[in-house]
């Protein structure tokens, strides 16, 4: 028996070496064995009372501080508690996800000469794996095996988790196969870990297939397995598959819990299937699963986003009736919704109500309030709220500053925005892509092209990542200030880069070229588009052609646009009508006006004044004006 175990261990090493891991790294010093056996004093001599107290304290650990205190007492008590008690403590800390603390306590144990056992090592391996320190986990495993401890299915499942979290999904899959070959029997933990890993690496179909394979391999998926799969599917928007799983669970007599329902309901909300979400909400109640505050928050938020106020308010009362207390998330969703509806007073009242209900507003609450005021150009109130936030010891984060900076920039107060940027940096917050992009836009809007370009240069030299928004704002700014050549240099660089260009960028360049009179170049770019033009692209190009009096070409493009399924808008018609009027083509103009009117659009101010002028000098007759109104 003993012989077969050590043989297995050896094969395991061969396996890892074959996988190219090489020799496991050196074990951290604290894992070196010292004084083995000498601390293996049992609790036999300790009084029953003491053991009872220790057992109670171990099972009562709720906070990290409790655990640390208990550890201090344990290492001081004589005789020392057994390794079993220490393991229980470490396990409790690991469950709080304080993996670093677990490692540090292990280090202290080693210093004190308390040696580890298989369970202790398994806990460490788990901690290193959860922290994505796979090499350290492997080092502990190597040490452990050197000491004669054979990894069990738990140890290996932890390690599997490490592979899954370390971009080594194919190695993870291979590890499970290897485990089977070596006589380990994968259980629900093993499979669930791998399924979760597959989702993490975007291998959803493999993950779903593995659920069925589990059954074939004599392993029934449990609630946790289904939870992992439902979550993975919902995140990708595969909600139908997630709903199918609910049925599968029912068939397997596994009762879904509220979190699983919440996950699906929230996805349904996000993917705009509100009615299905509400139905599922009713269904869970009939199935005896009580919705909680999260369920209500998802639905209320979604209904508010759709402007379905009465439905949202009905749910809110329903929630209160059922004695489910709204929390900070509920209030945040409502505050946001009120601001978006322009109900500033109501939003502020909600903030007051939170305080009355002793629900502490958090950073998100303040960010929403600040953003709400900024959206409605109430900069002073926004700034006041910012000060209030700071006075309440709620630390502003990068988003708080970005919101305020954006508010000031939109009001053409870019200098105030820059001042905030300085303040932010003094607080140790580093500007991100949004911060720089906002300020670049602010300078352009304030007419300061040079400063905008300077900020962009600074952004690049500070290695702040640029994104598609940065470039659309930069190119748009440069083009509108007549710096087409500079814009072209950047645009050509972008075309060669990895960045996936969107239609907005192309629209900007086509517009810039047309405005600079280079309609031919714009046309070439338009013809070379590898993505679908949108209504703005067509309008810009049509307008460019019209500016060169290429009315036939503009009309051809107008037809092509409709053939391609792009609906013309008010801008399309107005551009074409204006051009045809200027060209004195009354018949074409009249035709277009008719079509425009039947599509529900009207002539804009420039058309009206153009027609009026033409009436005065006799180029048009009165019937034209009648057609327009």
Partner DNA sequence: TTAGGGTTAG
Q: How far is the CB of 505 from DNA (least distance, A)?
A: 25
Question: CA 490, CA 303: separation in Å to the nearest integer?
Answer: 43
Question: CA 186, CA 219: separation in Å to the nearest integer?
Answer: 8
SS3 413: coil
**Given the complex with DNA, which of 178 and 297 has the nearer CB atom?**
297
Q: How far is the CB of 90 from DNA (least distance, A)?
A: 8
Question: CA 102, CA 66: separation in Å to the nearest integer?
Answer: 14
Binding residues vs DNA (CB under 7 A): 83-84, 87-88, 91, 94-95, 117-119, 122-123, 126, 130, 152-155, 157-158, 161, 187-193, 196, 221-228, 231, 257-260, 262-263, 266, 270, 292-295, 297-298, 301, 327-330, 332-333, 336, 362-365, 367-368, 371, 397, 399-400
**Given the complex with DNA, which of 301 and 543 has the nearer CB atom?**
301
Question: CA 589, CA 607: separation in Å to the nearest integer?
Answer: 11
175: how many CB neighbours lie within 10 A of its CB? 24
Q: Which of 350, 402, 394, 393 is nearest to 374 (CA)?
A: 402
SS3 205: helix
Q: How far is the CB of 241 from DNA (least distance, A)?
A: 15
**Given the complex with DNA, which of 90 and 592 has the nearer CB atom?**
90
Q: How far is the CB of 153 from DNA (least distance, A)?
A: 5
**Given the complex with DNA, which of 386 and 491 has the nearer CB atom?**
386
Question: CA 475, CA 469: separation in Å to the nearest integer?
Answer: 10
**Given the complex with DNA, which of 245 and 577 has the nearer CB atom?**
245
Q: How far is the CB of 92 from DNA (least distance, A)?
A: 9
Q: Which of 553, 616, 549, 617 is nearest to 578 (CA)?
A: 549
Question: CA 619, CA 437: separation in Å to the nearest integer?
Answer: 49
Q: Which of 478, 481, 560, 544 is nearest to 510 (CA)?
A: 544
Torsion angle defined by CA atoms of residues 355, 352, 319 and 281, in that order, rounded to the nearest 10 degrees: -100
Instruction: Name the token pair of 212.
Output: 């069925």
Contacts 24+ apart (CB under 8 A), 553-559: 554/579, 555/588
Q: How far is the CB of 602 from DNA (least distance, A)?
A: 34
Q: How far is the CB of 122 from DNA (least distance, A)?
A: 3
Helix (H) or strand (E) holding 431: none
Instruction: Name the token pair of 277.
Output: 């979400």
Question: CA 308, CA 564: separation in Å to the nearest integer?
Answer: 35
**Given the complex with DNA, which of 272 and 560 has the nearer CB atom?**
272
Angle between helices 134-146 and 118-130 (to 10 degrees): 170
Question: CA 96, CA 492: separation in Å to the nearest integer?
Answer: 51
**Given the complex with DNA, which of 230 and 545 has the nearer CB atom?**
230
Question: CA 395, CA 384: separation in Å to the nearest integer?
Answer: 15
Q: How far is the CB of 623 from DNA (least distance, A)?
A: 51
**Given the complex with DNA, which of 140 and 561 has the nearer CB atom?**
140
Instruction: Name the token pair of 12.
Output: 């395991």
Q: How far is the CB of 188 from DNA (least distance, A)?
A: 4
C-alpha distances (whole Å) from 564 to each of 502, 533, 559 are 18, 9, 9
Q: Which of 573, 515, 574, 521 is nearest to 547 (CA)?
A: 515
**Given the complex with DNA, which of 394 and 546 has the nearer CB atom?**
394
**Given the complex with DNA, which of 334 and 474 has the nearer CB atom?**
334
Instruction: Name the token pair of 311.
Output: 């439905």
Contacts 24+ apart (CB under 8 A), 383-392: 389/363, 392/361
**Given the complex with DNA, which of 164 and 473 has the nearer CB atom?**
164
Angle between helices 605-616 and 570-582 (to 10 degrees): 20
Q: How far is the CB of 160 from DNA (least distance, A)?
A: 8
Q: How far is the CB of 194 from DNA (least distance, A)?
A: 9
Instruction: Name the token pair of 201.
Output: 């690496």
Q: How far is the CB of 16 from DNA (least distance, A)?
A: 19
**Given the complex with DNA, which of 427 and 560 has the nearer CB atom?**
427
Q: How far is the CB of 290 from DNA (least distance, A)?
A: 12
Buried b (16+ CB within 10 A) or exposed e, 87-120: bbbbbbbbeeebbebbbebbeebbeeebbbbbbb
**Given the complex with DNA, which of 189 and 523 has the nearer CB atom?**
189
Question: CA 421, CA 451: separation in Å to the nearest integer?
Answer: 15
Question: CA 592, CA 249: separation in Å to the nearest integer?
Answer: 60
Q: How far is the CB of 625 from DNA (least distance, A)?
A: 46
**Given the complex with DNA, which of 429 and 577 has the nearer CB atom?**
429
């Amino acid at each position: 028996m003993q012989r077969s175990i050590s043989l297995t261990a050896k094969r395991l090493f061969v396996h890892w070496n074959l996988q190219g891991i090489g020799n496991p790294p050196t074990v951290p010093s604290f894992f070196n064995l010292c004084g083995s056996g000498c601390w293996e004093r049992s609790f036999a001599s300790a009084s029953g009372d003491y053991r009872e107290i220790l057992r109670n304290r171990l099972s009562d650990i709720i906070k990290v501080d409790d655990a640390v205190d208990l550890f201090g007492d344990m290492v001081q008590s004589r005789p020392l508690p057994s390794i079993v008690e220490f393991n229980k403590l470490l396990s409790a800390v690991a469950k709080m996800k304080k993996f670093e603390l677990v490692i540090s306590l292990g280090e202290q144990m080693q210093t004190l000469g308390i040696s580890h056992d298989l369970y202790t090592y398994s806990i460490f391996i788990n901690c290193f794996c959860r922290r994505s320190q796979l090499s350290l986990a492997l080092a502990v495993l190597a040490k452990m095996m050197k000491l004669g401890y054979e990894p069990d299915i738990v140890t290996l499942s932890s390690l599997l988790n490490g592979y899954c979290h370390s971009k080594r999904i194919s190695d993870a899959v291979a590890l499970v196969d290897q485990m089977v070959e070596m006589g380990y029997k994968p259980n629900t933990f093993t499979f669930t870990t791998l399924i979760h890993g597959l989702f993490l690496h975007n291998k959803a179909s493999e993950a779903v297939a593995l659920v069925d394979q589990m059954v074939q391999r004599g392993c029934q998926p449990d609630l946790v397995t289904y939870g992992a799969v439902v979550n993975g599917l919902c995140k990708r928007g595969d909600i139908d598959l997630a709903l199918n799983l609910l049925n599968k669970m029912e068939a397997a007599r596994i009762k879904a819990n509220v979190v699983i329902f919440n996950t699906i309901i929230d996805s349904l909300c996000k993917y705009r299937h509100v009615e299905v979400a509400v139905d599922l909400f009713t269904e869970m109640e009939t199935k005896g699963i009580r919705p909680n505050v999260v369920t209500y928050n998802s639905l209320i938020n979604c209904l508010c986003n759709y402007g379905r106020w009465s439905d949202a308010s009905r749910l809110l009362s329903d929630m209160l009736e059922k004695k489910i207390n709204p929390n900070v998330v509920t209030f945040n969703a409502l505050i946001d919704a009120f601001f978006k509806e322009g109900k500033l007073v109501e939003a502020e009242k909600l903030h007051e109500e939170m305080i009355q209900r002793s629900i502490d507003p958090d950073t998100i609450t303040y960010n929403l309030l600040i953003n709400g005021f900024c959206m409605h150009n109430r900069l002073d109130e926004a700034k006041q709220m910012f000060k209030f936030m700071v006075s309440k010891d709620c630390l502003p984060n990068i988003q708080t500053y970005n919101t305020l900076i954006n508010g000031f920039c939109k009001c053409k107060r870019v200098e105030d925005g820059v001042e905030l940027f300085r303040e932010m940096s003094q607080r140790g917050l580093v500007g991100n892509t949004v911060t720089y992009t906002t300020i670049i836009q602010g300078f352009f809007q304030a007419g300061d092209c040079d400063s905008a370009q300077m900020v962009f240069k600074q952004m690049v030299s500070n290695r702040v990542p640029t994104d598609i928004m940065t470039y659309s704002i930069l190119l748009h700014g440069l083009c509108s200030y007549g710096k087409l050549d500079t814009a072209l240099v950047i645009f050509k660089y972008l075309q060669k880069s990895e960045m996936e260009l969107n239609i907005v960028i192309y629209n900007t360049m086509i517009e810039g070229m047309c405005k600079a009179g280079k309609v031919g170049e714009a046309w070439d770019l338009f013809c070379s588009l590898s993505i679908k033009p949108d209504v703005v692209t067509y309008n810009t190009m049509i307008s460019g052609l019209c500016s060169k009096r290429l009315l036939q070409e503009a009309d051809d493009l107008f037809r092509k646009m409709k053939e391609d399924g792009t609906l013309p808008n008010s801008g399309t018609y107005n551009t074409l009508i204006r051009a045809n009027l200027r060209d004195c083509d009354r018949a074409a103009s009249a035709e277009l006006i008719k079509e425009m009117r039947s599509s529900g659009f009207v002539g804009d101010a420039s058309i009206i004044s153009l027609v009026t002028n033409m009436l005065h000098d006799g180029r048009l007759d009165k019937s034209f004006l009648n057609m327009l109104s």
